[in-house]
Amino acid sequence: MSLKFTKDHEWINLDGDIATVGVTAYALGQLGDLVFVEVPDEGRMLSKGDEAAVVESVKAASEVYAPVSGEVIEGNAGIADDPATVSGDPAEDGWFFKIRLSDPSELDDLMDEEEYDVYVESLD
């Protein structure tokens, strides 16, 4: 598996041509406690950069963008039912959706964990 990050604070964990997408702990720290999550429906086609999901917190509403293009093969209904799951475990049970990549070359534009950490430090 390969973990990558976007400048919009999404993480993507690749396993073959299937990617699991979620939001980073940094993003959750900025948002605060989540009160609502909407995930994409199975079968939805997304292009890189499309709005894929919505999160609302006590502080703000925000979008989760597709880090790559492809077809959504699963939305995490569990976080829609219990948004606190995302804050409690963003890298495991708190994922938003799984997508089958249509253009693996788009992964080249994403950051690895070290690059993402440097990027986040530059924001403070």
Residue 14 lies in a domain: yes
Domain of residue 57 covers 2-106
Residue 100 lies in a domain: yes
Farthest CA pair distance, the chain:
38
Residue 35 lies in a domain: yes
Residue 115 lies in a domain: no
Residue 36 lies in a domain: yes
pLDDT in tens, 84-119: 899 888 888 899 999 999 999 999 999 999 999 999
CATH number at residue 48: 2.40.50.100
Residue 120 lies in a domain: no
Q: What is the dihedral of CA 16, 65, 92, 37, to 10 degrees?
A: -140
In the chain, the number of structural domains is: 1
Distance CA 24, CA 33 (A): 14
What is the pTM assigned to this prediction? Answer: 0.93
Distance CA 45, CA 35 (A): 26
**What does the pLDDT profile of the chain (124 residues) look like in tens digits?**
589 999 999 999 999 999 999 999 999 999 988 999 999 999 999 999 999 999 999 888 999 999 999 999 999 999 999 998 998 888 888 999 999 999 999 999 999 999 999 999 999 7
